[in-house]
Amino acid sequence: MEKFELLYDISRRLSSSLDLDRVLKDILALTIPSVGATSGSMIVLDESGQARRHTLIKKELGTPVTEQAVGQILEKGLAGWVVQRKKGAIVSDTRDDERWLALTDEHRATRSAVAVPLLRQERVVGVLTLVHPEPNRFDEEHLDLLLSIANQSAIAVENARLYENVTERMREATALHKVSNLLMRTLNLDQVLERVLDILQRTFGYLDCAILLVEEETGELEVKAVRGDLQEAVGRMRFKIGEGIAGWVAARRTALNVPDVSQDPRCVEGVEQTGSEMAVPMIAGDSVIGVLDVQRAEANAFSDDDLRVLSSVAAQAAIAIERARLYAAERRLRIAIAEERAKLEAVIKGASDAIIVTNEGGRVVLMNPAAEQVFDAEPGTWVDRPLETVVENADFLVLWRSCSMADDGFCSDEIPLADGRTLYAQTTPIAGVGQMAIMRDITHLKELDRMKSEFVSTVSHDLGSPLQVIQTGAELIPKLGPVNQAQRDAINDIVRMVTKTATLVRSLLDLGRVEAGVGMEMQPCQLVTVVNEALVGLEERAKAKEIALQITLPQALPLVMGNPIRLGQVVTNFVTNAIKFTPGGGTVTISARETEGEVAIEVKDTGIGIALEDQAQIFDKFYRVKSAQVSRIEGTGLGLAIVKSIVDGHGGRVWVESELGQGSTFGFALPIAPSR
């Protein structure tokens, strides 16, 4: 029978092909003549019921059926009727049947039609429609035959469609893999952007596309790279987050497929209206860094698949862009650090002060040329060597070590060099690095100081004898004959002033001698004896001012190496000051103590005290506190300078602790003499 032959023929042909277009054309080519139709069409549906393919075979070429028309037919036309009811339909005369939509010339020329569903497990996978320009051309028999053919075709159509799906996905996967490969091979941001657009154009066929990035400063989206019709928009187009389609996408972090931009309320006014637009956010970490945007002049141009592909590209683009940006930022940082380093190095190198830095392990990390010169180190040979092997100067090493042990790490001292020069060295701890010393050559200052002392002592020496003559002369006048009261007063003034001046000169001479080391012959001394002898003449003075002298001394102290006369001077100076600067009724306490390797003597009073800002200077020559209280009391300002000089000459230290109005404590300490 003809029917079976036909079915057999169809099944044979269909099973040999997986090409959907081929399959559809074959079905139409075989069925059109079998029912005497003039032309026919096939609509293939995907899972969501949307038209996936529309194939038309007809005798004369007419206008192609648009996607939109197919959509309408599926919605309310004959094919739609068939899909909804899952059964075939015959239209005897299209003019009397409202299921027939005359959308094209071809449709308008049609009078009869027959349509059947292609069913696969109760699901309509397609609709086959055959037509004829004359009415009443199809009957139930035709319908039966077509239903049989449709049943047989459904499997082939479904298989071909699934195969096409799979191959499409695979093509997509390969393309995306290529995308990531291509993007990961550059760290240059501009190149990344260009490549993303290349991919969108060449691999996926999106001709009009743009990349918008969120500007750090403004927080706005700015078009950074563009292809196709959007070309002119570069740098001109800006969107606030939330504004326009791209802004909406960035704000919501959602991909968007707008089938008809002119109908979309999100579209920014004034921007040229395109047909369709897809926009996908690019997200890195947890922030939106930009938007990929693709447009097309026609409406409904993009499918869900398109949006998926664009999203995948966007995800990879986001990674590549972020990577390029981080790389650029890191490069900038590295350059900035190198520049800062170079600047700092230049400063340190050029400094006239000698600078040495060691790490926490005591190894040299830096020594500038001035330091190399001072310590006779070959340039650069010091790197990472222990300090002691680089610097030989014992005084410097002592300072360095005592500073590493000091609580705050700040220390300073004068360092004599072998060549006769003197450095003033200050050490500072550097957090996270180690310790630093800065040394300044103070040789010329020392020399000036020496010259000044020499000058002063020469002058005072020369003043000594004339003063003596004046004093003796003045005292002699009254003895030579009677003088009246006015003359006596004048003579007394002269004697008083001369005595004062003589004291000053004596002190100056004394200071000069101490500084020159004259009269500093050392011997083992018992400080208890020294103190007691010094106090002999002072008890009278304290009593006269009604000041209690409290002396709390041990029987004996460890011996120190020193000059007993000079050390007695120190005690005398401290106690004299204490009595001078303490109002009557107060107390002066003298005590002694032994500490680690040292013997210390302290003189404490309940007097006027010294403000902190004055304390640092009272050991300087001629320094006297500028206050009404002090200026009423006679003095030269040399006493403590002599004290400091003497104690320094003994390798000891002096100090003061005081608070204005609360009394003062002066002290000195000397190293205990090594026992034999």
The residues binding ligand ADP (CB under 6 A) are: 573, 577-578, 581, 605, 607-610, 618, 623-625, 630, 635-641, 664
Q: How would DSSP label each residue in 393-429?
A: -HHHHHHHHHHHHSSS--EEEEEE-TTS-EEEEEEEE
Residues touching Mg ion, count (CB under 5 A): 2
- Of Mg ion, ligand ADP, none, which one sits near residue 607, judging by CB under 5 to 8 A according to partner kind? ligand ADP
- Please, which residues bridge with residue 667 across strands? 602, 655
Give 382 or 581: the residue with its C-beta nearer to Mg ion.
581
Position closest to ligand ADP via CB: 635
Structure tokens at 407: 């609580």
Give 515 or 605: the residue with its C-beta nearer to ligand ADP.
605
State the minimum distance, in angstroms, from the CB of residue 639 to Mg ion.
3
State the minimum distance, in angstroms, from the CB of residue 544 to ligand ADP.
17
State the minimum distance, in angstroms, from the CB of residue 609 to ligand ADP.
6
Contact set for Mg ion, span 213-272 (CB under 5 A): none
577 binds Mg ion (CB under 5 A): yes
Give 511 or 592: the residue with its C-beta nearer to ligand ADP.
511
State the minimum distance, in angstroms, from the CB of residue 604 to ligand ADP.
9
- Of ligand ADP, Mg ion, none, which one sits near residue 601, judging by CB under 5 to 8 A according to partner kind? none
CA distances from 566 to 520, 525, 570, 578 (A): 7, 11, 7, 19
Cβ–Cβ under 8 Å, residues 148 and 3: yes
State the minimum distance, in angstroms, from the CB of residue 636 to Mg ion.
7
Piece of the chain touching Mg ion by CB under 5 A; list 310-318, 321-329, 421-429, 638-646: 638-646
Q: Which of 487, 656, 496 is nearest to 577 (CA)?
A: 656
State the minimum distance, in angstroms, from the CB of residue 553 to Mg ion.
22
Give 41 or 664: the residue with its C-beta nearer to ligand ADP.
664
CA distance 61 to 53: 19
State the minimum distance, in angstroms, from the CB of residue 503 to Mg ion.
11
State the minimum distance, in angstroms, from the CB of residue 360 to ligand ADP.
41
For the window 468-497, what string marks contact with Mg ion as x by the rule CB under 5 A? ------------------------------
Give 609 or 667: the residue with its C-beta nearer to ligand ADP.
609
- Of ligand ADP, Mg ion, none, which one sits near residue 255, judging by CB under 5 to 8 A according to partner kind? none
Give 596 or 613: the residue with its C-beta nearer to ligand ADP.
613
Kindly give the interhelix angle for 140-184 and 189-198, rounded to the nearest 10 degrees: 160
Give 639 or 667: the residue with its C-beta nearer to Mg ion.
639
Cβ–Cβ under 8 Å, residues 592 and 529: no
Among 586, 609, 639, 663, binds Mg ion (CB under 5 A): 639
Specify the pairing of strand 354-359 against strand 364-367. Answer: antiparallel
Report the alpha-carbon angle 333-335-337, nearest 5: 70
Residues 6+ away with beta carbon under 8 Å from 622: 636, 637, 638, 641
Q: Which SS3 state, helix, strand or coil, does residue 485 take? A: helix
CA distances from 366 to 21, 345, 357, 384, 631 (A): 80, 10, 5, 9, 51
CA distance 115 to 84: 13
Residues in the chain: 676
Kindly tell me the sign of the dihedral angle through the C-alpha atoms of 336, 339, 345, 346: negative
Give 204 or 574: the residue with its C-beta nearer to Mg ion.
574
Q: What φ, ψ does residue 559 adopt, rounded to 5°?
A: -70, 150
Give 322 or 605: the residue with its C-beta nearer to ligand ADP.
605
Cβ–Cβ under 8 Å, residues 80 and 70: no
Beta strand ranges found along 448-516 (DSSP E): none
Piece of the chain touching Mg ion by CB under 5 A; list 145-153, 418-426, 475-483, 574-582: 574-582
507 binds Mg ion (CB under 5 A): no
Piece of the chain touching Mg ion by CB under 5 A; list 136-144, 506-514, 549-557, 572-580: 572-580
State the minimum distance, in angstroms, from the CB of residue 573 to ligand ADP.
6
607 binds Mg ion (CB under 5 A): no
Give 17 or 503: the residue with its C-beta nearer to ligand ADP.
503
- Of ligand ADP, Mg ion, none, which one sits near residue 39, judging by CB under 5 to 8 A according to partner kind? none
State the minimum distance, in angstroms, from the CB of residue 580 to ligand ADP.
6
Q: Give 27: exposed, middle or buried? Use CB within 10 Å, 0-12, 13-18, 19+.
A: buried
Structure tokens at 401: 């070590």
Q: How would DSSP label each residue in 142-180?
A: HHHHHHHHHHHHHHHHHHHHHHHHHHHHHHHHHHHHHHH
Beta strand ranges found along 47-111 (DSSP E): 51-57, 89-91
State the minimum distance, in angstroms, from the CB of residue 629 to ligand ADP.
8
Position closest to Mg ion via CB: 639
- Of Mg ion, ligand ADP, none, which one sits near residue 578, judging by CB under 5 to 8 A according to partner kind? ligand ADP
User: What is the C-alpha end-to-end distance of the chain, expressed in Å?
Assistant: 140
- Of ligand ADP, Mg ion, none, which one sits near residue 291, judging by CB under 5 to 8 A according to partner kind? none
Give 204 or 668: the residue with its C-beta nearer to ligand ADP.
668
CA distances from 474 to 335, 478, 485 (A): 83, 8, 15
Structure tokens at 377: 């180190």
CA distance 80 to 75: 5
Give 474 or 547: the residue with its C-beta nearer to Mg ion.
547
Q: Which of 553, 650, 558, 647 is nearest to 592 (CA)?
A: 553
- Of Mg ion, ligand ADP, none, which one sits near residue 625, judging by CB under 5 to 8 A according to partner kind? ligand ADP
State the minimum distance, in angstroms, from the CB of residue 574 to ligand ADP.
8
Give 145 or 640: the residue with its C-beta nearer to Mg ion.
640
State the minimum distance, in angstroms, from the CB of residue 541 to Mg ion.
13
CA distance 290 to 425: 58
* Cβ neighbours, 10 Å, residue 550: 10
State the minimum distance, in angstroms, from the CB of residue 602 to ligand ADP.
12
Give 438 or 643: the residue with its C-beta nearer to ligand ADP.
643
- Of Mg ion, ligand ADP, none, which one sits near residue 618, judging by CB under 5 to 8 A according to partner kind? ligand ADP
* Contacts to Mg ion by CB under 5 A: 577, 639
